[in-house]
Structure 1
Amino acid sequence: MSVEYYVRLERGNAKGVSEAVLEGISRALQLDDAERTHLYDLVRTANEGEHPRRRRGATRPQQIRPGLQQLIDAMTDVPVFIQNGRLDILAANKLGYAVFSELYVQPQRPANFGRFVFLDPRADAFYRDWDDAAYATVALLRAEAGRSPHDRILSDLIGELSTRSEPFRTLWASHDVREHRTGIKLITHPIVGDLDLHFEAMDLSAERGLQLIAYSAPPGSHTLDALKLLASWSVTSDAAGQRQAAPTDS
């Protein structure tokens, strides 16, 4: 690869770049899976500019099929929710709503992790490591922006967060990307206190762009006991009443 060719890539001119070149760049920069996928997404977007008819249409509101809601409702012992790439919570089971009840204090629907982390003062107390939560949130949104460059709702969300949150602007400028597959979420729930939640995120093959995220805790742990208490609380409180029968994008 010539120096002139590399300089062209650095300047954002990626039209017509071959897969062999992209693989070479990935190896040279030691990109992880998320970064490699993001690179390919950016090149795909650049090539779409040559073929406007290939661009995706207007963003459509997302709704969850009744069968999916029935499935997660049957998972009564673990918190579960379904989110899209914009980090909107589109559906949850009762325990999922109870665990993330702080996201539903604000009236805007669907509840969105980006807005909560950067615009809601409750987020600082909810996340025991707010800096990590903020970094992960921006990295996930950055990856989605590469996958869905013509998503108007996503662009509006990024514009809103950039305008209203200096920490978001700073992190967005770092251009980091991340996948959301597995890990531990450390939160402090206003009812049951600290929770160390292990999560697994699974792409829904029949629902493009959606992930089912389930949380669990080791047997005998404080978190497991707290989840049982929270499940009982959700039955007798209005937490479950915050469910939206058919969340719509706004």
Structure 2
Amino acid sequence: MDLRTEIKEFLRSRRARIAPEQAGLPAYGGNRRVRGLRREEVALLAGVSVDYYVRMERGSLAGASDGVLDALASALRLDEAERDHLFHLARQSSHPRRRKPAATVRSSLQQVLDAISHAPALVGNGRYDVLATNHLARALYSPMLADPRRPANTARFVYLAPDAARDFFVDYDRIAGDVAAKLRMEAGRNPHDEALIALVGELSTRSELFRQRWASRDVRLHRSGRKRLHHPTVGRLDLDIESLELPAEPGLHLNIYTAPPNTPTADNLALLASWAATQETQATELEAPNG
């Protein structure tokens, strides 16, 4: 991905959404040739020269201080994710890093997952590869894992198997937007990740919806929250998610799915655990040699 283009289009898209009145500026004249703020208005709000801002919007953030970036984030009314994205782009401009995200997990980390016996848990990376699961996560995401391609990838499931994904994700439209936005965030953090570049290219080629969502240049943080699913075997699951970064494994995060006790979802999770145990028993019996 071209970093200068990413910076240019991100800054343009953010200033285009802000009307002068929102920024407390007078809108002189009824006919403005640009949507949103002009470059000189952003420069004024950020306290930098017009020439300096023009250089930044042309894709040059190298050398920009944290103070300038903070002022620019305030001028463009960036939210927390957008501000982080701006800083990631600036760091890559000044000190390019070619970090190769982990493609597998350590055996001890798999042991941690397996020790979580009453909640689905998985380890993934920023490009939505599912790298490791416990038995309940395998059961929970069985519709996605039906695709034999490995590692399983949530973004491919959402955009390239949309019928199955719509059946599985109750809030499919929101999920689709979040997936594209988090991939965009990862692209700013690690623009030289060849696997991420290939994934974005594949999704762009095969999904019109992804092209639309990607073109918005929205970004999102990996955060805790609520996910509503419809599992083909146990029905509706309204799950709370805790997404934890793994300091010893940069770029990886641990997702744990839980439900408050004495709720329909808690009952359905127990049913899922029973179903998963049955499936694993049957698989073991099929693999066992005939006596």
Structure 2 partner of 1:100: 141
Structure 2 partner of 1:214: 256
Q: In the TM superposition, what whole-angstrom CA distance separates every residue of 1:122-180 from its partner, at most 9, and x where no partner exists?
A: 10111111100100100110000001110000000000000000000000011111112
Name the CA distance, whole Å, in 2 between partners of 1:76 and 1:16. Answer: 49
Name the CA distance, whole Å, in 2 between partners of 1:87 and 1:122. Answer: 17
Structure 2 partner of 1:226: 268
Structure 2 partner of 1:34: 81
1:25 aligned onto 2:78: no
Q: 2:90 aligns with which of 30, 35, 43?
A: 43
Report deviation, 1:13: 2.1
1:4 aligned onto 2:51: yes
Show structure 1 runs of 5+ residues with no match: 49-53, 242-250
Name the CA distance, whole Å, in 2 between partners of 1:239 and 1:124. Answer: 30
- Contact (CA 8 Å) 2:185, 2:220: kept in 1 or not? yes
- Secondary structure at 1:122 match in 2: helix
Structure 1 partner of 2:155: 114
Aligned length: 235
Name the CA distance, whole Å, in 2 between partners of 1:239 and 1:198. Answer: 28
Q: 1:192 aligns with which of 228, 234, 238?
A: 234
What amino acid sits opposite 1:217 in the alignment? A
Structure 1 partner of 2:172: 130
Name the CA distance, whole Å, in 2 between partners of 1:29 and 1:194. Answer: 40
Report deviation, 1:44: 1.7
- Secondary structure at 2:186 match in 1: helix
RMSD across aligned positions (CA): 1.6
Q: In the TM superposition, what whole-angstrom CA distance separates every residue of 1:211-250 from its partner, at most 9, and x where no partner exists?
A: 0000111111111000000001001115996xxxxxxxxx
Show structure 2 runs of 5+ residues with no match: 1-47, 284-291
What amino acid sits opposite 1:187 in the alignment? L
Larger Rg: 2
Q: 2:61 aligns with which of 6, 14, 34?
A: 14
Name the CA distance, whole Å, in 2 between partners of 1:184 and 1:60. Answer: 26
- Secondary structure at 2:170 match in 1: coil
Report deviation, 1:10: 1.9
Q: 1:69 aligns with which of 95, 100, 110?
A: 110
Report deviation, 1:33: 2.1
1:151 aligned onto 2:193: yes
The alignment's TM-score, normalised by the length of structure 2, stands at 0.77
What amino acid sits opposite 1:192 in the alignment? V
- Contact (CA 8 Å) 1:101, 1:239: kept in 2 or not? no
Q: In the TM superposition, what whole-angstrom CA distance separates every residue of 1:185-224 from its partner, at most 9, and x where no partner exists?
A: 0110000111101101000010010000001111111110
Q: 1:164 aligns with which of 206, 227, 230?
A: 206
- Contact (CA 8 Å) 2:102, 2:251: kept in 1 or not? no
Go from structure 1 to structure 2 and tell me whether the alpha carbon gap of 1:235 and 1:112 turns closer, same or farther (over 3 Å shift): same
Name the CA distance, whole Å, in 1 between partners of 2:169 and 2:49. Answer: 47
What amino acid sits opposite 1:104 in the alignment? L
Q: In the TM superposition, what whole-angstrom CA distance separates every residue of 1:13-58 from its partner, at most 9, and x where no partner exists?
A: 222222211011122223222111110111122224xxxxx5426x
The alignment's TM-score, normalised by the length of structure 1, stands at 0.90
- Contact (CA 8 Å) 1:88, 1:110: kept in 2 or not? yes
